[in-house]
Structure 1
Amino acid sequence: MERISTLIPYTQPDWTPSKRLGALDTTASPHAIAAKLGRYLLSDATPETLPRIDTLIAETVYGLTLEPYEDTGSVLEARILEDARDARVYRAGDGRMVLSGERLPRKYLGDHTWQWTRSSHRGVETAHVTGFRPATAVGALDILGADNTDTIRIILRERPRTLTLTRLTAFAMLAEARWEGEIKREANREYAKRHAAGVFSDKKRCDAKHRHAAETSMFGRTFRHVEIDDDIDLDLFARLDDEYRTRRGDGELPSISDGNAFRFRKTGRHKAIGVYSPHEHAIAVDPRAPRSLIHEFAHAYDFEHGQISCTPRFQPILDMFEAGFDRTNQTETRIRYALTPTEVFARGWEIHMLHTGKGGSFVGVEADYKNDPLYRPLLDMEGLDELYATFER
């Protein structure tokens, strides 16, 4: 089968991501670590959702059912509210006040009983208060899970010295693992955000011959929508379509959902020779470089199967890639791009297909990869057997 390397001449430019979560400060206190993660997880929360989050925290951590706060006329409670710095206030089922707010003074954090003696009547007012900072609570729950509420309650009081060494050690280990996993998934989310529209919009005008060729092709029978650029040579496209039919029929290509849209569309504005959008459920392959198809199919497979690239079973490949990646003269954004899990996953599938002879026109040739620092660690990887076994699975 003759390899088709291009339908339109093309040169691959550079392309890098931009945003990251930030590093974990292993010297920080547990509540500071939990708060940082919590603020990140709650960054998209709206004012309307915060009461539901408070309710979840109260029920999960403290076993309290929250109700709207009703003023009982207590002078002591009124003074507490004045001091609570705009905290949200509730009444629990057992009558206590529950305070939630990021600026809540530390003296109100945890469970407390406050008393005030009224000198004029020699009476005593009592207020039972439970307070927490929601970001800290969300972060601690995310790291430790709902089965460790005893430790979480201690963390929410923000008194780290009251934690035993065993609990501190366990928290540090879990936080490090959680942080690493979140950074990997955030890198994948940043990948997804970069490809939201443009190349995935239908062309307003499309040549009738090219539209018919797309609809009647094997690509057209595989995906919910197919479109090809008017500049494409239809004879070359027919040959490429035959190759796609054969390789797909032989089970050589990543098996992805037929709910995706597929386009042979020039992707230069995205500074890439192929683009996949998890949000749009769409793939675009530049017709000048059909070799990007396996790479984009691998992205689709990764996201459609729960981001395999972020799971422990793919971690050995990530570790070997990172150890072999040459950072010389590389910018920080370029390094982040190189280490994005779904990118390593897609490159790894390309190298697997290259060396097993299954990729054909839909993967590059050795010369495309051997001098590219983004692929060199995969070619030099000591654990190539592990790489091949991973993608055979």
Structure 2
Amino acid sequence: MTMIDEGVRETDELLAEAEASILFTAKRPPVVMERGKGMYVWDTDGNRYLDFIGGWAVTCLGHSPDVLKDALERQASQLVNVSPAFYNKPMIELASLLTKISGFDRVFFGSSGAEANESAIKLARKYGAIRKGGAYEIITATNSFHGRTLAMMSATGKAQWQQLFAPKLPGFLHVPLNDWEAMSQAIGPGTCAVMLEPVQGEGGVHAVDADYLAQLRKKCDDEGILLIFDEIQTGIGRTGTMFAFEHFGIRPDILTLAKGIGGGFPLSAMLTKEELNLFEPGDQGGTYTGQPLAMAAGLAVVGEVIRLNLPEYAAVQGDYLISGLRSMQTKYKLEHIRGKGLLLAFDLPEPKGAELVADCMKEGLLIDSPSPRTIRLMPALNVSKAHIDEMLGIFGRVMDRLWG
């Protein structure tokens, strides 16, 4: 039996085990990913894939970067875990770094984006309870995505989730993005906060208008309403600046981060101003809050993003990728090429997103289709022009077959 035959047999056995033991939550292709390095991942059959999904904007330094591996090895040899009732050294160092680069004063750490957003919602409602006469309503945008806990599914503006797992948590209102009349009508005496993604990622890469955001900031200031930016997907260099709010010259009252902050290690953070340092003991917490391994991972990843000036690099590479897509736009009838930095998307002439994703994977390219006509690209922030050229080449060959 050849090595290839052995690999196929191993894959078949693993897939059979997966079908028998893993709870179904998603349709996954019949491959088992085994290892990754840089811009590529390999499956158990030895097939190589150029990764332009990046774990949904997670692997900001590529797969298995040495700086992350080394940081985890060092920390694992010193302290893996300790109660969140105690400080630990990398927790303090990462909090200090994040406050320094963001301009915020306080940090709460979690493990997932949903957890960071839950923290933001709790803080906003705490603020409403003690400073706005019990106000608890939070306005979010239609087509937004804020996580998969019950509360965050209530906050999320996806139409298909409206009745899922009902009854939903009350107190969330959804208005169309960039519709100032709808927003101004929704704000009332019961409003404690507005929560927005500066660029909707899961919703198809749609940015907030600068003028709309300026109006919203002023309205929130005038009414004593908190402005929350969900930068789970856009933070840590993804859009060409360290934080997406820098594009708009607007600072939120609360900022949430995840995905790229850990470079693939589960980590999230909520940042806020000193005047919102309102939690009392017992109000908020978690077993893995400030977990030393996660803190070491975040410290290494964010430090490397800063050292390599990856936000600026991502802006340059994003422009290069957009230029390449525009050169194909007429031939393949691509529509609305958009995004900032390396969070990009475009629309297809027909709703064949799933088919295109599957065909690209067969050719060794991983891309994402958040809706039937939309393709989203989120490669590592250190992607090279050679990788982009390779991606565009594969994409063109597949498009020739689908629409040629």
Bin for the TM-score computed over the shorter chain: under 0.3
Structure 2 length as normaliser, TM-score? 0.24
The structure number with the bigger radius of gyration is 1
More strand by share: 2
Structure 1 length as normaliser, TM-score? 0.24
